[in-house]
Amino acid sequence: MKLLITYVILFLTTLSVFGQKAAYVIYNAKGKVVKYEKMLGGLSKNDILLFGELHNNPIAHWLELELVRDLSKQRALILGAEFFESDGQAALNDYLSNTIDEGTLETQVSLWSNYETDYKPIIEYAKSKKIPFIATNVPRQYASLVHKEGFKVLEHLVPDEKRFIAPLPIKFDPDLPTYKKILTMFEDHGTPELVKAQAIKDATMAHFILENYSQNKLFFHINGAYHSDSYEGILWFLKQRNSNLNYVTVSTVEQKNVSELLEENKNKADYIICIPDTMTKTY
């Protein structure tokens, strides 16, 4: 009788679990399902973590916050993100130290339109726990210049401007598959200069990650998935400068069916967050 009751309980539990629609499924690079706790353990053992998000995906933003909270209990963290540009570091530092309020921060840096809902919770957590937060992205005006004229335009910047970008000259491999793909993704707008604009962002984010990395701490960086997918982009530049650190990547993908990872999404990262493509967007 007790055995029967046990089977019934297990059966009902199974129905309750698999009867729900999954908001996300975590896979490893080979497409094997991974539990959150296992991913957490794997991430915590590294020096630098690149979390590749889809900028308008709420599950990605929620998981970023949850990982920051959980990892901070295991490791000393440094946080950094694409959504803050390097010339805003002083203002960001002032906000984190309570020298200025949020209203003043908004006048001194270019906040993304979804900052309030998607990124502010992470910034506020960092502020409450006194976790350093690094503005890593290239200022948009320099990326725009590269998009128009290529890397050569950066040579004309004054030293005070150059401190906000990766050191020149930019070591660049246009044959990386993700860069070559940009040429076809954007059709007529997919120019070599557009690829270089992507590369100056990748190089600058890598530069400020390494400049602010501290031994025995985990640098948790948030960026658009394309900036680190397929172990390229930011990660390529990181490894050019320091191949001795332990790097780990996360990517976010959307699929119609999340019960199995599509071949095209395998090997995008060490851990792949697979989310239904019907998920609500934040903008």
DSSP conformation class of 279: S
pTM: 0.92
Place of tokens 């959504």: 83
Is the separation of the CB atoms in 268 and 216 below 8 Å? no
Q: What is the mean pLDDT of residues 166-175?
A: 96
- At residue 12, the pLDDT reads 42
Q: Are strands 25-28 and 271-276 parallel, antiparallel or unpaired?
A: antiparallel
- Res. 275: pLDDT tops 50: yes
Q: What is the mean pLDDT of residues 223-234?
A: 98
Of 8-22, 120-134, 182-196, 212-226, minimum mean pLDDT range: 8-22
- Res. 233: pLDDT tops 80: yes
User: How would you label 125-161 residue by residue, b for 16+ Cβ within 10 Å and e otherwise?
Assistant: bbeeeebbbbbbbbbeebbebbbeebbebbeeeeeee
Q: What is the mean pLDDT of residues 278-283?
A: 96
- At residue 17, the pLDDT reads 47
Confidence of residue 18 (pLDDT cuts 50, 70, 90): low
Query: CA of 85: how far to CAs of 65, 143, 276, in Å?
Result: 20, 11, 31
What is the Cα–Cα distance from 67 to 220, expressed in whole angstroms?
Answer: 9
- At residue 76, the pLDDT reads 98
Kindly give, in sequence order, each residue whose CB lies less than 8 Å from that of residue 87, ignoring residues fewer than 6 positions away. Answer: 135, 139, 164
| Beta bridge pairs of residue 222 | 51, 81
Question: Over the chain, what is the mean pLDDT?
Answer: 93
Considering only CA atoms, which of 277, 250, 254 is closest in space to residue 264?
A: 254
| Beta bridge pairs of residue 221 | 50, 80
- Res. 117: pLDDT tops 80: yes
Q: Could you tell me the end-to-end alpha-carbon distance of the chain, in angstroms, rounded to an integer? A: 55
* Architecture in CATH for domain 23-276: 3-Layer(aba) Sandwich (3.40)
Q: What is the mean pLDDT of residues 124-129?
A: 98
- At residue 19, the pLDDT reads 67
| pLDDT tens profile 241-263 | 999 999 999 999 999 999 999 99
- Res. 3: pLDDT tops 60: no
